[in-house]
Amino acid sequence: MSDIKKVVLAYSGGLDTSVILKWLQDTYQCEIVTFTADLGQGEEVEPARTKAEALGVKEIYIDDLREEFVRDFVFPMFRANTIYEGEYLLGTSIARPLIAKRLVEIANETGADAISHGATGKGNDQVRFELGAYALKPGVKVIAPWREWDLLSREKLLAYAEQHNIPIERHGKKSPYSMDANLLHISYEGGVLEDTWSEHEEEMWRWSVSPENAPNTPTYLELTYRKGDIVAIDGVDMSPAQVLTYLNKVGGDNGIGRVDIVENRYVGMKARGCYETPGGTIMLKGHRAIESITLDREVAHLKDELMPKYASMIYNGYWWSPERHMVQAMIDASQANVNGVVRLKLYKGNIMVVGRKSDDSLFDAAVATFEDDAGAYDQQDAEGFIKLNALRLRIAASKGRNLL
């Protein structure tokens, strides 16, 4: 341990990382640089500075990364309509590569010997942080306290914090949920959620009202897309972070974006988590709607086939990988004509597409109409099309292949 003189710690100021800060000082006898990212978690990040200073930290980084997060990570992911195991919009997963990137940059700036994070040895985040760090700085040293210490429960962490006078946020008399928040979502794990039969507590949710308590009148939104990204809402130009902030508010007000799932972690176990992703849920619905009129059929279907693999890359921590870059290039190329406006209706937890238009639309009413198409489509052509596609089936049947 004597070769570790300075460590850059991903520091939130919460229970885990506050304990880690003190533990690193005591265990490694090293200088600590703290890095706190403002990813739009909805809480002040400046208190982390006060907490770090109280523990003797001299180099403190508090960075507003909201625009970079949405522009360079969230938006590219949503161009692929990315969703993991059918439900999870990857709110925690997509934040980790940005944090890993910044940890490495700060380590280079400060001459640190190592980086450290608060991810547990049971979770996905340790993989995401470290795969990213190794990809960007191959020789970096990583300290993961959860894989070294014996503070392996929330109660032990709380006791350690009390012993060392580390201020923490408590939820009543019990240990708080393990939570992660950024502009894309809030995640909740632990506590009563570890029983898969127990219903989550209504008071747990922070961003959204329950669908039952959402307004009795619908809310309409018009999302303007340029090359697959939302650039305006209801005709008002917005930056990426402004888009997501606005959609979180209106989505949460309408009871949108709650999920309660059991997912398969990369390390092999199943875990239950609850997620609030109001803005992201709206973005996914809107993006699929604008693609429905602007993408060629085979391009759209190929994207859908690639998406689960792409989602797994992000979930498992391979954002900084050649395969993700390769797939991203294909996805981004598909978005050249994904331009136009989508109109959505939000009502009591539901999102309905009620309109879509684009100068790049491939929808041709003259061809698709159920009325007289004036010769735009010759229905007799369908007979040969069907017979040719049935040729292999007819031949197999004539050779005695019975598919009943």
| Strand arrangement, sheet containing 186-189 | 178-181, 186-189, 270-276, 258-264
Q: What angle do CA 70, 294, 387 make, to 5 degrees?
A: 135
Instruction: Specify whether 125 is catalytic.
Output: yes
Verify whether residue 16 is a known catalytic residue.
yes
**The two three-digit tokens of residue 140, written as one number:** 């970096």
Cα–Cα nearest to 25, from 116, 147, 110, 106: 116
- The rounded distance, in Å, linking the Cα atoms of 317 and 127 is 6
Q: Which of 66, 79, 96, 128 is catalytic?
A: 96
Q: Which residue, 143, 150, 149, 93, is CA-closest to 123? A: 93
Find out whether 283 and 254 touch, Cβ atoms under 8 Å. Answer: no
The answer to whether 131 and 158 have CB atoms below 8 angstroms apart is no
Q: Cα-flanking dihedrals φ and ψ of residue 365, to 5°?
A: -60, -30
Asked if 305 contacts 84 with a C-beta cutoff of 8 angstroms, the reply is no
Q: Exactly one of 125, 128, 334, 356 is catalytic; which is it?
A: 125
HEC string for 35-83: EEEECCCCCCCCHHHHHHHHCCCCEEEEEECHHHHHHHHHHHHHCCCCC
**Residue 391: Cβ within 10 Å count:** 10
Q: Which residue in the list 18, 93, 178, 208 is annotated as catalytic?
A: 178
- Within 109-245, strands assigned E span 114-116, 141-143, 178-181, 186-189, 219-226, 229-233, 236-237
Active site residues: 16, 96, 125, 178
